[in-house]
């Protein structure tokens, strides 16, 4: 069993080549660049019992290797994911339920009902990088994944264009510093949707994330982190299937985040704070004609919708959301020390 620490970022398809050519990848390189194709089959019961437990079970074909992998839900701190992962080499692409660890696999799931649910196929390019800041350093693997998730039932597809920064050794904080450097010119945004979830949602009704209710015993920092994850999930929900509801909830979440910033829950660089404020104002302005008319109608609003799409994929919004997540991570780390 290994513990995976990574930052998963969405990458607009128009910026894929810009990432490949980024000078940081040459400056920080500590190994050869590798590229290979990955074909993955995910398994679940007909009732999606694994998905309900936030567990992913797959078989990956990597060259001549077949690898069975189990990943648990894990935890998230400011967008930095930590979860447990088990891997086993197989002789053939056939699921081996007997390998699944008893301590991690729910006892109420009948392994006899496990069957292929969907596939994800993508090309992976990996860079080995050494990042340093003062007397701290880290070995980080930067992975670019380009491909798609495909349903085995409806043939629907969802494109995959992601960057993963995985800590191979050293200080976790430096993953964020690397992401922030890249985000100066590329609109990278923390993604809350795993490749497995991309496959599951292809044949499911649209699930708009719930707006998180505030709790009396919740700290301002906890509330801010919860709202940030909500913002990221709502943007991805809208991008997958444009609907009015995610946009309305997104505005509500962004404005509450702004209120928490005003009382000093975390501190942002002035220019980043201004970019966040401007993005929030822009979204309210773009939504205001619809919000005033008892619900949003997308008819005859193509120009406005195009502006909303550009805002959600913009560099200022992605920079401010990423910086916010980093600031929350630092505050949480300091509190735990």
Report pLDDT digits (tens) over 198-234. 998 998 888 999 999 998 899 999 999 999 999 999 9
pLDDT in tens, 269-283: 999 999 999 999 999
d(CA 166, CA 179): 11
Closest CA to 12 of 210, 163, 209: 163
Of residues 191 and 84, more confidence is placed in 191
φ and ψ of 57, to 5 deg = -130, 125
Mean pLDDT of the region 254-266: 96
The per-residue pLDDT for 290 is: 67
For position 130, what pLDDT does the model report? 97
**Which class for 134: exposed (0-12), middle (13-18), buried (19 or more C-beta within 10 A)?**
exposed
Helical packing angle, 173-182 and 315-336, nearest 10°: 170
Identify which of 227, 234, 160 has the alpha carbon closest to the alpha carbon of residue 194: 160
At 79 the pLDDT is 66
- Cβ proximity of 166 and 141 under 8 Å: yes
Confidence (pLDDT) at 137: 96
Instruction: Quick: pLDDT tens for 120-155.
Output: 999 999 999 999 999 999 999 999 999 999 987 777
Mean pLDDT of the chain: 90
159 near 13, Cβ under 8 Å? Answer: yes
Helices (H), 53-150: none
What percentage of the chain carries pLDDT values higher than 70?
93
Distance CA 78, CA 331 (A): 9
Its pTM stands at 0.87
- Looking at residue 2, what is its pLDDT? 62
Q: Is the pLDDT of residue 103 over 90?
A: no
> pLDDT-derived band of residue 293, with 50, 70 and 90 as boundaries?
low
pLDDT at 198: 92
**What is d(CA 1, CA 81) in angstroms, rounded to the nearest whole number?**
16
Rounded distance between C-alpha atoms, residue 252 and residue 55, angstroms: 30
User: Is the pLDDT at 80 greater than 80, yes or no?
Assistant: no
Exposed, middle or buried, 139 (CB in 10 Å: 0-12/13-18/19+)?
middle
Task: Examine the pLDDT at 55 and tell me if it is beyond 80.
Answer: yes
Distance CA 247, CA 237 (A): 9
Q: List pLDDT tens digits, range 13-30.
A: 999 999 999 999 999 999
Distances from the Cα of 233 to the Cα of 68, 140, 207, 227, 274, angstroms: 28, 25, 10, 10, 23
For residue 309, name the pLDDT band (cuts at 50, 70, 90): very high
Burial zone of 323 (CB within 10 Å; 0-12 exposed, 13-18 middle, 19+ buried): buried
Indicate whether 54 pLDDT > 90.
no
pLDDT score of 39: 94
């Amino acid at each position: 069993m290994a513990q995976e620490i990574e930052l998963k970022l969405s990458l607009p398809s128009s910026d894929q080549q810009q990432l490949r050519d980024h000078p940081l990848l040459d400056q920080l390189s500590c190994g050869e660049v590798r590229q290979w194709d990955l074909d993955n089959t995910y398994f679940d019961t007909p009732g999606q019992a694994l998905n309900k437990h936030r567990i992913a079970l797959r078989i990956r074909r990597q060259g001549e290797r077949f690898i069975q992998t189990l990943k648990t839900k894990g935890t998230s701190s400011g967008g930095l994911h930590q979860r447990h992962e088990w891997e086993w080499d197989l002789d053939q692409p056939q699921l081996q339920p007997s390998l699944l660890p008893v301590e991690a696999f729910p006892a109420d799931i009948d392994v006899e009902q496990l069957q292929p649910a969907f596939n994800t196929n993508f090309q992976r390019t990996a860079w080995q990088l050494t990042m340093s800041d003062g007397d701290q350093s880290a070995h980080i693997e930067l992975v670019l994944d380009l491909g798609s998730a495909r349903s085995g039932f409806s043939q629907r597809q969802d494109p995959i264009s992601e960057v993963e920064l995985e800590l191979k050794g050293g200080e976790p904080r430096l993953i964020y510093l690397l992401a922030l450097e890249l985000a100066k010119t590329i609109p990278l945004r923390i993604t809350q949707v795993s490749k497995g979830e991309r496959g599951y949602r292809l044949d499911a009704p649209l699930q708009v994330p719930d707006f998180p209710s505030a709790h009396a015993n919740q700290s301002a920092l906890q509330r801010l982190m919860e709202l940030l994850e909500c913002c990221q999930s709502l943007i991805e929900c809208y991008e997958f299937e444009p609907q009015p509801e995610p946009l309305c909830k997104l505005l509500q979440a962004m404005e509450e985040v702004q209120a928490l910033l005003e009382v000093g829950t975390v501190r942002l660089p002035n220019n980043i704070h201004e970019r966040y404020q401007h993005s929030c104002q822009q979204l309210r302005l773009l939504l205001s004609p619809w919000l005033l008319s008892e619900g949003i109608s997308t008819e005859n609003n193509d120009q406005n919708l195009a502006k909303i799409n550009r805002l959600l994929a913009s560099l200022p919004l992605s920079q401010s959301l990423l910086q916010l997540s980093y600031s929350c991570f630092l505050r949480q780390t300091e509190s735990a020390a």
